[in-house]
Amino acid sequence: MTGSIRLFTTSPLHDGASVPATPDQAHYLGSVMRQAAGAFVLLFNGVDGEWRARIDSVRKDRAVFALEGQTRAQTATPPLTLLFAPLKRDTTHMVIEKATELGATRIVPVLTERTNAGRLNLERLVAIAREAAEQCERLDVPVLAEPARLSDVLASWPHDRVLFAAIERSGASAPAFRPDEAALLVGPEGGFTPRELDFLRRLSFVEPIGLGPRVLRAETAVIAGLALLQMAPSR
């Protein structure tokens, strides 16, 4: 089934189920991908694994799938939270896409003193995460949280949970381990302000990490930080 079209659904998936497509999915299948009744796709919902599904009918904005067997059982994605300061629209979209591909299970936009971004369209960000999960063969889609001030998020952060913070020129090294519930904080363009850095240094659960000898763009830091955490040995 390599190369098959994969689609996320909110419907339960089980033997013999008939699953409706969303109007966007029906349009994509029929008008974009030129799929007809009888073609096969893969469906997943983050709970019931991945299933082989035959297109029972498709027209304009309507399609129905008939499930014909599970192809992969559901497995748990190791917890990995990304806290990031929203960037310009297209760059934020890229961050959501790449974070999904790199295994983030929860993404939290945090507002910092230097955050310079307009209002976030969470519905669009959720769609981007869903499309990235479909493409990269994940069995789940990360949770997108409402934007919140960094200070508010950290005020309720569990003190026994390590939060790795990508801080420029901190002299820190790459993460030596990956906790059971890994988490990464990446600041805005221009970095954290001196006041924010002082605040972060006072928090016992924040651990600075280095991402190499160069100053990285915020979106590059997200990718590098998540990749390093993916590769780090479990503690």
CATH number at residue 85: 3.40.1280.10
CA dist., res. 105 & res. 84, Å (int): 14
Same domain, 148 and 55: no
168 and 64, same structural domain?
no
Given a cut of 70, whether residue 68 has pLDDT beyond it is yes
Query: Lowest-pLDDT range, 19-28, 62-71, 161-170?
Result: 161-170
Residue 202 lies in a domain: yes
Return the sign of the alpha-carbon dihedral for residues 22, 28, 33, 37: positive
Let me know whether 144 and 95 are in one domain.
yes
For residues 101 and 212, membership in a common domain is answered with yes
Read off the pLDDT of residues 112-171 as tens digits, 9 standing for 90 and up. Answer: 999 987 789 999 999 999 999 999 999 999 999 999 999 999 999 999 999 999 988 777
Helix axes 122-136, 89-101, angle to 10 degrees: 40
Mean pLDDT estimate for the chain: 94
Same domain, 140 and 87: yes
Domain that includes residue 116, residue range: 80-231
Q: Check whether residue 100 and residue 141 sit in a common domain.
A: yes
DSSP lists the bridge partners of residue 81 as: 106, 183
> Band of the pLDDT at 173, cuts 50, 70, 90?
confident
What is the total count of domains within the chain? 2
Whether residues 144 and 38 share a domain: the answer is no
Average pLDDT over residues 13-40: 95
Give CA separation, 174 vs 45, 88, 146, 208, 232, in Å.
34, 27, 29, 9, 9
Q: Band of the pLDDT at 1, cuts 50, 70, 90? A: very low
Quickly state the pLDDT bin for 4 (edges 50, 70, 90).
confident
Together in a domain, 118 and 144:
yes
Instruction: Assign 215 a pLDDT band (cuts: 50, 70, 90).
Output: confident
Higher pLDDT among residues 171 and 54, named by residue: 54
Q: What is the pLDDT of residue 2?
A: 46
pLDDT band, residue 172 (cuts 50/70/90): confident
